[in-house]
Structure 1
Amino acid sequence: MDERTAKWRLLGPGLVVAATGVGAGDLVATLIAGARYGDALLWAAIAGAVVKLAMAEGVGRFTLATGRTLYDGWRGLPGGFGRIAAAYFGLYLVIWGFVYGAAGMTATALPLAALAAPLGLELDLAAWAMLVGPLAALITWFGGYRTVERIIGVLVAIMFVTVVGLAVIVAPDISQTLRGLVPLVPEGAGVYALGLIGGVGGTVTVAAYGYWIAAKGWTGPEWMGVMRLDNRVAYIATGVFVVAMLIVGAELLHAAGIALERGDRGLLDLGEVLSERFGPVVATVFLIGFLATAFSSVIGVWQGVSLMFADFYAHLLGRAGDPAVTGDRSLAARAYMLWLTFPPMLLLMLDRPFGLIVAYGVLGAVFMPFLAGTLLWLLNSEATPKPWRNGWVSNGLLATAALMFLVLAGIEVAGLFS
């Protein structure tokens, strides 16, 4: 096996972070953008993949260059900012995990229920959701990172074939589609453009990339080339995936004036449209792709964010870097897996409390500008060895991301209180 082939066989963490970041809600947002504005926002979908690539590369570069986790970097920020960052992140993880647990389980339950109904397996949506969480917990509890990487690899293949195949089936006008590469914003499309750039594939899981490359066994700057290849391959695949969904929205929904329901249930609407136009087989294949997309996000979160929580807990104990406390088999990581699985079931049976949703929305809106801003700080300071600090391209992309995420945060927070 030559060196180039061996390098390709090493790839994996980038695919995990990209697949975990693209959930059912991102698919709906992309479809709605395509349904409303056709191919006009194609450039925004591609720009979004580039921004996330820059952020994940920054996380990976900091981890490999310093041998520290990103949370450890936040703790080390000077002037009291380290304590503020640590407190914010800990609070965010607790609230985010409680709400995301319910959302992720429900998103996966939707296609499960739709696929099972024709087979006579009719359960309440909440019941399906309550099966999804424990399954994800079992996989991550006993399997660890390696197992999660293999499963996500299979799920990504299903997602990719399904969505790209669907984009081919709807037969786009290539010349019309390519016009969407010109960065123009149709009237009223500004928020949708920002949402595509900032929202698709962009969650707390971007910060988990450093934990996954450590779990993969990549340590030290000598892995920098492999990490960058891994990251590029993953986000090129993400870009193709998002572009394919935008094309489906533009070609299938825009011309016919079909509006999807907001939220994950919009994908069930698309399944009905596909069934009417192409028959039940195509609709069923799409639902399988929907299921793969949702479940890859769930198991990625159950594994990766649990590692982040374990690191947070290890710092509280003063045992940062201790594998017995920070590993995915540690008590803290497994406790967070359970936190993601069982307490959120209360939200499946109750209307979500308004105060909790507001707190979740505010903390979540602030996270991506927090991540972009702190990466700028860490990668331009003595926290990072000089050879691995930011160049002008990385600084430009991260600064653009930080400003854009601040605008999105303002819009989201204003929407929560309006």
Structure 2
Amino acid sequence: MVNETITKNPVEGESAITQTINEGTNEKRSFIQKIKYAFGPGMLAILTWLGAGDLVTSAVAGADYGYGLMWILALSLILRFLIVNVMSRFQLANQQGLSILEGYGKIHPGFAMFLGIYAIIIGHLSNAYMLSGAGEVLSNIFGFNSPFLGSIIVVGLLFILIGRNYYHTIEGVMKIFLAVLTLAFVYLAFSTSPDFAGIVSGTIGFSIPQDEGAFGALLVAISIIGAVAGSISNFVHPYFLKEKGWTTPGHLKLQRNDLLFSIIVCIIINLSIWIVGAEILRPNGIRVETVGDLAAALEISLGKFGWITFYLGTFAILFASIVGKTTGYPRLITDAFYVSNKKRSEKYEGDYNKDPMTKWIMYFLLVSPIIWSIPGMPGFIQLTIAVNAFNMVGFPVIAIGLLIISNRKDLMGKYRNSWFENVCLILATVLALWSSFELLLSFI
């Protein structure tokens, strides 16, 4: 039997679902209840992961390099599944009931503090490019030719909506727009008769093509890895598990199936966007340098309907991602702070929802990025590529720390990593170090 208590959190603006599983009862759930119970955190993860980073990096890679960098996307999605699965298993099965950040703190408090500070920086920069994009979208839809004004409107809307009862209605509408855009990309991807031989060749190609377009191939490749495998948003998933009520090793199978479902959805969406870039934008000589260039793909194939669908769906992606990061990152940051400040953790009983610091971090992540929308700053596409490449700075710390805590016998017991997971995490660490080194060289 599952008893659900739904409480509204005025800071986060979303439902926190607490579920108690009473074993030994034979009460059956309806089919809808089973679906709702089995597929929860993964759906939230998709909304958090699939921001502008996936949309822009996949479209730019397809438009500029065809399928030459497809192997980078495949590798990044595999690593995302592996990393998030190990993080989730730690959250569910560690013997001390630690959160993932507390686990990093077991290595050294500096690990957790680094990740907390890093999350503030990445949260600020991620919202920067998404607010810039949302402002540009509003400016193009309504024709007032001021992306900065559009970004200010988005911040104002979020201030009004988050935590209000009618926020969930608005969120539901946004999900519909997002679903329509996704279906449009999937339809276009299959209707263009994609080059499946090229896709297979690109997936196993393991090479970096010659530079084309406004962004170098290596920068785009690193940006894809940063947007998918190296994203600190992956840390948010274990917190969704906790709010869902999945807190014990008995939930491991549910968690794994739920995560696999979300990764499959990510593959379909990313691949569809990539194909549209390679089969529509590239043959028409369109380089993705503004949000309008992305809109051209749907407008060419679907006319005015495609144009409207793109802008409404893209606004929905940006809006949902800003909300997800603005409400999700403060949990991660506060949790990291608690690792080195036990007195504050005890004061608020370890509940970041009760701590006013969480609210002020949320306000900072929502308001401070507006400076990047001021006229003269880099545009939406440029910011997106740069920020997702910058994600690689923290990826080595994430990968090394995860490798250590997921193999500690005193924490994980029989739930330690398999040899295959360890090999993959070592490869992820090497990839992260290589990407960070190449990124540093490119800046120099």
For normalisation by structure 2, the TM-score amounts to: 0.79
Distance in 2 between the 1:144 and 1:204 partners? 29
Note the alpha carbon deviations across 1:176-227, whole angstroms, 9 max, x for none. 4444443342543772445434533642110111111112221111111111
Q: CA deviation at 1:84?
A: 2.2
Distance in 1 between the 2:156 and 2:393 partners? 30
Distance in 1 between the 2:273 and 2:127 partners? 25
Note the alpha carbon deviations across 1:346-365, whole angstroms, 9 max, x for none. 44337669xxx9x9899743
Residue of structure 1 in register with 2:261 after alignment = 233
2:320 aligned with 1:296: yes
Corresponding pairs, count: 401
> Any stretches of 5+ residues in structure 1 without a counterpart?
none
Q: 1:98 to 1:28 in 2, by over 3 A?
A: closer
Residue of structure 1 in register with 2:395 after alignment = 368
Contact kept, 8 Å, 2:112 with 2:337, in 1: the verdict is no
- Where do residues 135-284 of structure 1 align in structure 2 (5 Å cutoff)? 135-142=157-164, 154=176, 157-185=179-207, 187-188=209-210, 191=218, 192-193=220-221, 195-200=223-228, 202-261=230-289, 265=290, 267-276=291-300, 278-284=302-308
Q: CA deviation at 1:16?
A: 2.2
Residue of structure 1 in register with 2:309 after alignment = 285
Distance in 1 between the 2:350 and 2:376 partners? 36
For normalisation by structure 1, the TM-score amounts to: 0.84
Query: 2:295 corresponds to which letter in structure 1?
Result: G
Residue of structure 1 in register with 2:362 after alignment = 337
Contact kept, 8 Å, 2:236 with 2:332, in 1: the verdict is yes
Q: 1:306 to 1:40 in 2, by over 3 A?
A: same
Range with greater deviation from structure 2 (360-369 or 48-57):
360-369
SS in 2 for 1:309: helix
Q: CA deviation at 1:25?
A: 3.4
SS in 2 for 1:338: helix
SS in 2 for 1:29: helix
In the alignment, which of 429, 436, 443 is matched to residue 409 of structure 1? 436
Residue of structure 1 in register with 2:100 after alignment = 70
Query: 1:342 corresponds to which letter in structure 2?
Result: V
Note the alpha carbon deviations across 1:130-157, whole angstroms, 9 max, x for none. 2223433555445799999968865653
Distance in 1 between the 2:440 and 2:174 partners? 32
Note the alpha carbon deviations across 1:17-50, whole angstroms, 9 max, x for none. 2332232233222122212332343343222211
Contact kept, 8 Å, 1:26 with 1:200, in 2: the verdict is yes
2:150 aligned with 1:128: yes
Q: 1:31 to 1:344 in 2, by over 3 A?
A: closer
Distance in 1 between the 2:170 and 2:229 partners? 18
Q: CA deviation at 1:298?
A: 0.9
Query: 2:118 corresponds to which letter in structure 1?
Result: Y
SS in 2 for 1:127: helix
SS in 2 for 1:260: coil
Residue of structure 1 in register with 2:142 after alignment = 116
Note the alpha carbon deviations across 1:274-327, whole angstroms, 9 max, x for none. 434542211221222222222222111011101112213434253447766534
Q: CA deviation at 1:8?
A: 3.2
2:130 aligned with 1:104: yes
Q: 1:246 to 1:47 in 2, by over 3 A?
A: same
SS in 1 for 2:411: coil
Q: CA deviation at 1:126?
A: 1.5
> Any stretches of 5+ residues in structure 2 without a counterpart?
1-27, 212-216
Query: 1:333 corresponds to which letter in structure 2?
Result: T
Q: 1:57 to 1:130 in 2, by over 3 A?
A: same
In the alignment, which of 307, 326, 336 is matched to residue 351 of structure 2? 326
Distance in 1 between the 2:193 and 2:135 partners? 30
CA RMSD in angstroms, aligned pairs only: 3.3
In the alignment, which of 29, 32, 44 is matched to residue 57 of structure 2? 29
Query: 2:373 corresponds to which letter in structure 1?
Result: L
SS in 1 for 2:428: helix
Q: CA deviation at 1:376?
A: 0.7
Q: CA deviation at 1:383?
A: 4.9
